[in-house]
Structure 1
Amino acid sequence: MKKISTILSLTLILALCLPGPIWAAQDDATGSPDADPYAQYQASKDAAVAYLSARQDYAADVLYVYSDFSSVLNNFTQKAKIDDGNSDYIYDMNENWQEDPYMGDSAIEVRAKTVGKSWGGWLFLNGYLPEGSTEAQLDFGDVPDAGLDLSGATELTFWAKGAEGGEVIEFFTAGLGYDGETNAKMADYPDSNAKISLGFTTLTNEWEPYSIDLSGADLTHIGSGFGFVLSGVYSGDTESTFYLDEIRFEGPIAMLQDAPRFIKSYETDTRDDPDEIYIQNTAFSYDNALAALAFISDGEQEQAKALLDAFVYAVANDRYQADRVRNAYIYGDIRPFPGWASGTRLPGWYDVAAKTYYEDQYQVGTNVGNSSFVALALLQYYKEYGGEEYLQLAETVMDWVLENCTDETPGFTAGYDGWPEAEDGMQVWTYKSTEHNIDAYAVFKQLYALTSEERYGTAAESALNFIISMYDAESGYFYTGTLEDGVTPNKDNLVLDAQVWSLLSLGMLDFMPYRAALDTAVGMQTAEGGYPFHAANTNGGWWPEGTAFTALALREANQDTEAQAALDALAGIQQESGGFPAATVAQLSTGFDLFTGDPWTYRDIPHIAPAAWYVMAVNGFNPYAF
């Protein structure tokens, strides 16, 4: 740690030689030096904590068969048509009917024809995924351990309506592997209970709730979560259209207890923006690390622990190797379905036209910044509450960075996008990000302090030297990073986080030679009081997440007036839920492009990251400092 010690000595000398304080302590607006100038934000902060808690608990106590189209909350995702041989009478379901869903983005539209005594319908099955396969298979009770343990469920509820009213359908659950007429077991691994039916039910043309009582049922192994049948005996010669929504098991379900869960990053609505399907199922690791840090800052140990335990599970059960944090996972329960050899579940979406489930190459990849933020959360929890598993995971995650993101020059390369488990499935990035290295520096420095492992001290020096090399003293700001050669500065985009996070990570003393970067950040403030993602701010508006962490940095610098102005701007846009939008305009520019070539923008939809940073800013909690 020789270089770090030298820098500390140098900055201390600079501080002693300067004619006045770098940052002057300020009184609050009341003029009293003893009053807490941030007390006025406590109620707003508490609302933000409550918002994060509510998002963490969302759908934690129910098990969905169908929530929304392509939602990761859905279980029993494999569909099997059942009929008397007239399969043409049973049309494919439209699981993305958006004209009038009961709740959420979509409902299921069902169309079927009956003639004479014909019958047919659909089963919603768990199925299974063989080891090494990417395509799930149907299971009719022939595969062991491919059923869900729904013990504790008291009822299966759903909403339904007919297109005209008068449609007659039988709804049921369980019964996979049984003879439909005699209830005799026909398969080696049937459901633990025979079919439980609501009987043939006549629908109205309005949404109505229905419930199948599960009292006394053996639900320890269920492969068929839901099903329905139409029969010409009840319907006659006709074509029926009806709709289903919010199909779910309720009650203290055994398999939901203590499940490893992540928080959905954004509140999406694909009816308003079809492109939101790409993030509909996503819990970004950075966002969830922030939520854990916010909980730690507020003394909410159990909520923080639940998120960090989910990271422990996610890494240990990675479908490739247990040595990395993915950039994102699904939200909710991240465990694979029973019988699915898929490892920790990663986010994606279903393309109806292609009849294919896709994953996003960035979301399934791994980069240094996201890995470092997860490690920061693990180490902050370890500092506050202990737990060797959290320190060990932080080491594992950052050892991956050491082994995969180094070259012959200072700093760490970005990481990769794509699928390491697939041949030629990865896009390795060789540029270096200032923000990534700011994050990594703080983690490696703390790991060195905790373990005395020289590799971490060397890594901290490397990250620090890179950060310093990215500072333009003449212009007074940090570059965003390098080009793909890992050395040449990328001067095309002046971004907020590199200016602000450098202060939070280095600490005020070590930041003194670069203090102009904070002035640069303050100069980016918009007329509305918030801060943009980048100086050009092409589309106008401002960035709530960046405004919150800038408020924290200004507070660290004892610039309370400016910090409170940023918090005032945030309080002014806080939503009734206690959360904040990701942007104050429909498409906030970042100055960067996605791998598709499209501009990377933030949308004006609720996002957990600004809520988390707001909590930390009001609490005066610097996630980089130990």
Structure 2
Amino acid sequence: MTLPGPHDPGPHDPGPRGPAPDDRPSSTGRALDRRAFLALSGAGAAALTTLLAAPATATTASAAVLPTGGGHGGGHGGGARDSVRRAQAFLDVMTDAYPQQNPGPRLAQSYADQLGLFSTAFVYDNALAICASLTAGRAHLDRARALGDGFLFAQENDPAHDDGRLRQAYNVGPYVFYDGTPQEHGLVLPDGTANVGWQFGFLGTAVGDMAWPGIALLHLHAATRDHRYLRGALRIAEWIVANTWSTRPLGGFSFGVDAANAPVPNGSTEHNVDCVAFFRQLAAATRDRRWNRADEHARAFVDRMWEPDGGYLYTGTNDGTEINRDPLPLDPQTWGWLALRDRRYARALDWAADALAARDVAGDGVSQLPAGVTVEGVTFSSASLTSTASYNGLPVHPQGVWLEGTAQLAAALADRDGKGARGRDDRGRHGAGRRGDDDRDRAADLLREVRIAQDSVGAGQTVGGTSLPERSGVVAASSLIDTGFGFGYFQVQHVGATSWYLLAAAGANPLQVGGLR
């Protein structure tokens, strides 16, 4: 996640989610990604057809970028530790981009200005930013608390509802919209209500977009013992159970509600994985067994999505009755392991590493990489590898690398290392695929690829009109990619991608109790 982005019915924030591809409508027979559905169903849908001109072109790598083995562009020096420092600095700048809104509760702008969403802050991205901040101990605790307070403010001051929900996104700083209308305020409007993202239609509430802030608030409560964060997480949990508990044959939790507060019947594997993690962590924090029951309800849905012959999880369901088997996205595979640590799902990481592998080489096809640079990793879904779509006249690159997903895979492989990876699979056979001792090496290789992108792609981008620190944030994709769910990811610096990189670099697992320590 992400114009808005993941996935199946689901991933999370809007990736540089963009409007629907030029060569097909956004309404397909497939299960809609949470982000795509909520973005395109709102009042701002018409604006999405024009707001994303081609993303900022990657600048030519500086002379300091030297080729290394395998034809990759090398880093500018400083190593992994310096890369992490720069990535944390990016989160600082995105959080504090509008000084007139500080001090006080705030949320980070999700993407650099070049995406065209102005000061939009997606709640999924901000949940990740809280978790990434907490991996640094007390060094960035103030930032984590400011973002957590932003969630609590938005939850308590919704302009239309008083039921604990969060919207998909909020406005967090002033800007002038495309029609010339000034948007003068940040997160807090003059009447004291939250500045919801109505300009682009980001008004709905999705289960994954609730579970991730809930997870972040629980981690923040564990770090601070501030019970406000626990109470906020409880309100989120109560909203999910009250509004999305599905009684249809596949069970689990449905997608959420749209901008008009109408239920969306789709069910997302990824969202239900989120719920398993959230409710398990909430049960541990409260010792209340009702959250164990909610965890089990979500887990049963996820188990129904498992394909033992292929070794992967399906995306979800369009109607709560039939499984949606195509395309196959990355997130359920990586998060399925991180949340469940089930030996069956260990194989999904190997499936993802092989079936979704991408290698973006400058000068190859429509690659947008600077000369001399190669980035390897994984893409968003099986459909990404064969797409011929275009966004605003810009063709997608089937070998573009989804950097957020590449960092997710690195985090999952590092977490799998030594945790049952050599166990038997669900058919009683010894687990197949590349596993065990080389998981951490594979994770380290993927993180090096993310650092190549951090060093080489996204130069000259801005937030609130101010230049971003050099080589700080990680772009959403090495070149424009199509997710296969009606939206794309662009070469624009992204809080979500940067946060997943920081989580993976820290060896953290936000989907486990105590996973950030």
TM over 0.5: yes
Q: How many residues of Structure 1 are paired with residues of Structure 2 in the alignment?
A: 357
Q: Which range moves more in the overlay, 535-544 or 398-407? A: 535-544
Aligned 8 A contact 1:314 1:334 in 2: no
Structure 1 residues 326 and 572, CA gap change in structure 2 (3 angstroms): same
- What's the counterpart of residue 41 of structure 1? 80
Q: SS of the residue aligned with 2:258?
A: strand
* Cα-to-partner distance string for 1:213-258 (whole Å, 9 max, x where unaligned): xxxxxxxxxxxxxxxxxxxxxxxxxxxxxxxxxxxxxxxxxxx552
- What's the counterpart of residue 194 of structure 2? 344
- What's the counterpart of residue 368 of structure 1? 207
Structure 1 residues 417 and 571, CA gap change in structure 2 (3 angstroms): same
- Structural mapping, 1:556-571, within 5 Å: 556-558=415-417, 559-571=439-451
- What's the counterpart of residue 412 of structure 1? 253
- Structural mapping, 1:86-97, within 5 Å: none
Aligned 8 A contact 1:265 1:608 in 2: yes
Which one has a larger percent helix, Structure 1 or Structure 2? 2
Q: SS of the residue aligned with 2:445?
A: helix
Aligned 8 A contact 1:473 1:514 in 2: no
* Cα-to-partner distance string for 1:102-148 (whole Å, 9 max, x where unaligned): xxxxxxxxxxxxxxxxxxxxxxxxxxxxxxxxxxxxxxxxxxxxxxx
- What's the counterpart of residue 5 of structure 1? none
What is the CA RMSD across the aligned residues, in angstroms?
1.7
- What's the counterpart of residue 372 of structure 2? none
The amino acid that maps onto 2:310 is S
- What's the counterpart of residue 517 of structure 1? 348
- Structural mapping, 1:290-309, within 5 Å: 290-299=128-137, 300-309=140-149
> 1:320 is matched with which residue: 160, 163, 184?
160
- What's the counterpart of residue 19 of structure 2? none
Displacement, 1:483? 1.6
Q: SS of the residue aligned with 1:346?
A: coil
- What's the counterpart of residue 66 of structure 1? none
Aligned 8 A contact 2:404 2:500 in 1: yes
Separation in 2 of the partners of 1:335 and 1:58?
12
Structure 1 residues 568 and 317, CA gap change in structure 2 (3 angstroms): same
Instruction: Name the structure, 1 or 2, with higher relative contact order (CA <8 Å, separation 6+).
Output: 2
Separation in 1 of the partners of 2:449 and 2:188?
42
**Structure 2: stretches of 5+ with no match in the other structure:** 1-77, 174-184, 360-374, 388-396, 418-438, 456-469
Separation in 2 of the partners of 1:305 and 1:336?
17
Separation in 1 of the partners of 2:171 and 2:278?
25
Separation in 2 of the partners of 1:296 and 1:43?
18
* Cα-to-partner distance string for 1:430-477 (whole Å, 9 max, x where unaligned): 111000000111111111122232321110000111111100001111
- What's the counterpart of residue 17 of structure 1? none
- What's the counterpart of residue 318 of structure 2? 483
- What's the counterpart of residue 340 of structure 2? 506
Separation in 2 of the partners of 1:447 and 1:461?
13
| Structure 2 length-normalised TM | 0.67
**Structure 1: stretches of 5+ with no match in the other structure:** 1-38, 64-255, 270-275, 349-358, 419-424, 594-599
- Structural mapping, 1:417-566, within 5 Å: 417-418=258-259, 425-484=260-319, 486-507=320-341, 511-523=342-354, 524-527=356-359, 528-537=375-384, 538=387, 539-540=397-398, 541-558=400-417, 559-566=439-446
Separation in 2 of the partners of 1:285 and 1:519?
30
Aligned 8 A contact 1:42 1:618 in 2: no
Q: SS of the residue aligned with 2:317?
A: coil
Q: SS of the residue aligned with 1:391?
A: helix
Aligned 8 A contact 1:260 1:334 in 2: no
* Cα-to-partner distance string for 1:551-573 (whole Å, 9 max, x where unaligned): 11111122012111111111101
Aligned 8 A contact 1:262 1:334 in 2: no
- What's the counterpart of residue 261 of structure 1? 106
Separation in 2 of the partners of 1:335 and 1:377?
19
Aligned 8 A contact 2:206 2:257 in 1: yes
Separation in 2 of the partners of 1:50 and 1:503?
29
Separation in 2 of the partners of 1:610 and 1:407?
31
Separation in 2 of the partners of 1:281 and 1:50?
18
1:380 pairs with 2:219: yes
- What's the counterpart of residue 499 of structure 2? 612
Displacement, 1:513? 1.8
> 1:581 is matched with which residue: 475, 480, 484?
475
> 1:391 is matched with which residue: 222, 230, 252?
230
Separation in 1 of the partners of 2:324 and 2:510?
27
Q: SS of the residue aligned with 1:259?
A: coil
Separation in 2 of the partners of 1:501 and 1:50?
26
